[in-house]
């Protein structure tokens, strides 16, 4: 899948040495965490701050962590909580216009059909509620398994699967409607 993150230690048993080495974890999972955060917040600068805060929190909580989930899952779970806290603190979301403009200008080189598809998907992705979007980003973008994504979102795997299915249906509908326009 193009653009997807490598699975990393998704299926590996817990490695306590790796846990102690948060710097190595940052190297391995930093980019994935940033993508997750930016998909949530829409602001690249704030995403950097969120990833930083994720590791500060991880550092504080390291002693209490019992390794029930993989390190990657645990870090993404913390990152999600940080994002939720940030979104709660926001009253009004302001998306820098430069960013909007860049996003639009970024497609100039694409074929018209692809641009239409991407625009339709981008709009549909933005319309998803946060839970459904998390499911799509974790599974389709970052390469998490359904069980891992469920652990990040703190929901049963069946719930995650249902969210993912709902999200896919929404995106498919958007793409099909885009084709018919």
Partner 1 sequence: MMCDATRHALSADDPGPVELAHLAECAACRQWAETLAAVRRTVPELVPAAPEGFAERLAAGVQAHARDASAGAGAAAAGAADGAGAGPGDPGSQAHKPRLPWAMGMPAAAALVALVVAVAAVLTQGAGDGGDSDGAAGDVPGTQVLAAAVEPLAEPGTGYRFTVDGSTEIDWSTRPADDGDPPAGRTELPELLDRFEELVLPEPVDVFPPPSREELVPPIRNFDELRGRMEELGGTLDELRSGVREELRAEIREELERAREQLRDRQAILGASRLHITYEGAGTVDGDGNVRATISSRLHEPFAREETVEMLQHDGVTYVRRAGDEVWIALDGDARFRFFGVDEAEDLRTVLELVADAGPVSTLEAIERDGVTLRRFRIAPQVRADVQADVDIDDAGVLRRVEMSTAFDRGGADVAARFTVTFDDIGAGIVVDPPQRSIPLREAPPESIPGTRLGLGITIHTDAQGEAGGTR
Contact positions vs partner 1 (CB under 8 A)? 1-4, 22-32, 34-35, 38-42, 44-45, 48-49, 51-52, 55-56, 59, 91-95, 97, 99-101, 103-104, 117-118, 121-123, 125-128, 130, 133, 136-137, 140-141, 158, 161, 165, 168, 171-172, 175-176, 181
Shorter beta-carbon distance to partner 1: residue 11 or 126 = 126
CB of 169 to partner 1, least distance (A): 9
CB of 13 to partner 1, least distance (A): 23
133: CB partners within 8 A, 6+ apart: 39, 40, 125, 167
CB of 30 to partner 1, least distance (A): 4
Q: Give CA separation, 62 vs 78, 99, 116, 150, 166, in Å.
A: 12, 36, 46, 21, 35
- Contact assessment for residue 50 and residue 35, using Cβ atoms and an 8 Å cutoff: no
**Exposed, middle or buried: residue 121 (CB in 10 Å: 0-12, 13-18, 19+)?**
middle
């Amino acid at each position: 899948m193009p653009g997807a993150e490598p699975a990393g230690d998704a299926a590996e048993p817990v490695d306590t040495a790796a846990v102690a080495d948060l710097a190595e974890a940052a190297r391995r999972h930093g980019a994935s965490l940033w993508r997750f955060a930016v998909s949530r917040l829409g602001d690249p600068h704030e995403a950097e701050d969120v990833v930083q805060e994720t590791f500060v929190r991880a550092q504080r909580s390291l002693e209490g962590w019992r390794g029930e989930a993989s390190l990657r899952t645990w870090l993404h779970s913390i990152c999600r909580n940080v994002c939720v806290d940030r979104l709660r603190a926001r009253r009004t979301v302001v998306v820098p216009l430069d960013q909007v403009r860049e996003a639009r200008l970024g497609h100039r080189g694409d074929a018209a059909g692809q641009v239409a598809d991407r625009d339709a998907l981008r709009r549909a992705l933005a319309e998803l509620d946060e839970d459904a979007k998390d499911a799509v980003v974790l599974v389709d973008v970052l390469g998490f398994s359904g069980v891992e994504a469920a652990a990040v979102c703190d929901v049963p795997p069946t719930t995650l699967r249902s969210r993912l299915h709902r999200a896919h249906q929404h995106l498919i509908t958007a793409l099909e409607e885009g084709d018919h326009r």
